[in-house]
A = this chain, B = another copy of it.
Amino acid sequence: MSSTWNNNITFSVFGESHGPAIGVCIDNVPPGETLDMDKLMQFMARRAPKKDKTSTQRREKDMPQIMSGFFNGKTTGTPLCALIQNTDQHSQDYSNLSKLARPGHADYTGALRYRGFNDQRGGGHFSGRLTAPLCFAGAVAGQILEKRGIYIGAHISEIHKIKDDSFDPIRTSRDDIISLSEKEFPTISDAKGRRMVADIEKARMNQDSVGGVIECIAINVPAGIGSPIFDGLENSIAQLIFGIPAVKGLEFGAGFNSAKMLGSENNDEFYVNENGHVVTRTNFHGGILGGISSGMPITLRVAFKPTPSISRPQQTVDYSAMKNETLVIKGRHDPCVVPRAVPCVEAAVNIAVLNHMLQYPNF
């Protein structure tokens, strides 16, 4: 199913960028969980267009209305459906896109898949706007996890060729995570963040865009969560992360670097720590072994391509007439999707972790 994720938790994302509303229906949320709606709105606001120049000028309140599954301030256990009205569409801006395939977008592939019947205004169901319902679901999952002491956070690890510092894969704390979530531009090093902001602005001035990498960490996930082979934590996280538009790569722990290492370097030796817990001295495995959490922080990095919507003229095809054309994209677009994608990555990991937590008796 294109837009349904079916595991211990099932959730369906629906809607099109310029339709009446987008939303999400989540099945198997545990009952009796309080939701702090202010905190939920703060989470979603991190995904919403920024007021500065790093992102699109489009403004949306992105105010989710809960239709079901929430009663007297708590989840009911029955399906939780939230709706986000679309209120600020400028549909006319997209009028010349109807037949011209925007390079790097799903216009052409989507038209083939749906035989031309899909709503292509603003990307339709393929729009990055569909990450808003993902963030709603992720915010709910995150609040449930935080009550169990599990914190999941992310930062902008790279923009173009500028790198931020990395999470400490052993000692990153709850406070580190909360502090990042409160930053307007979430980098560990503020100085590097400022260089990134300048680089994004430079791309915007050049009618261009830049890509980047987001690093995510999950702390205090109990050991023993997940399953081997096709239902491990990596598989679930991967299936959700590749649901975020523009993602081109994903790695856990040392990731692609582990391919350059010797076994004697990459193996994380176990020891019993001062609290009597089994831990590892290093964390190249990224907190997951055999699809199952080891109790060490779960670490992952997600690569995003540059925003495909750039305002420079581009060569492309009119796929209805099957002829070559020049395209000039109007409308408002982020010169870099990475800052707004930070909560999306967190949301995907929140959902995957909660999903596997539900399977265990001690939840």
Contacts and interface: CB of A to CB of B under 8 A. Distances in A.
Given A126-B228, A290-B105, A252 B249 contact: yes
Interface string A254-275: 1110111111111111111000
B242 A106 contact: no
Nearest to A104: B267
Contacts of A57: none
A230 B2 contact: yes
> Which range contains the number of A residues in contact with the other chain?
35 or more
Contact of A270 (B118, B261, B312, B317): B317
A308 to B, nearest CB: 6
Contact of A78 (B31, B118, B161): B118
A103 interface: yes
Given A126-B290, A290-B106, A119 B71 contact: yes
A13 interface: yes
B114 A77 contact: yes
A224 interface: yes
B114 A68 contact: no
A243 B235 contact: yes
A10 interface: yes
A306 B261 contact: yes
Contact of A260 (B124, B160, B230, B288): B160
| Copy count, this protein chain | 4
B231 A292 contact: no
Main SS at interface, chain A: mixed
Contacts of A117: 31-32, 71, 74-77
A220 to B, nearest CB: 15
A245 interface: yes
Interface stretch (A46-54, A146-154, A175-183, A208-216): A208-216
B104 A263 contact: yes
Interface centre among A10, A228, A231 (most CB of B within 10 A): A228
Contact of A235 (B74, B78, B239): B239
Contact of A125 (B68, B74, B284): B68
B158 A31 contact: no
Given A103-B268, A112-B224, 14 more contacts: A4-B231, A19-B68, A20-B65, A32-B116, A76-B125, A77-B114, A112-B292, A208-B264, A209-B264, A211-B259, A229-B243, A234-B247, A256-B256, A270-B319
A44 interface: no
A251 B252 contact: no
A314 interface: yes
A256 B249 contact: yes
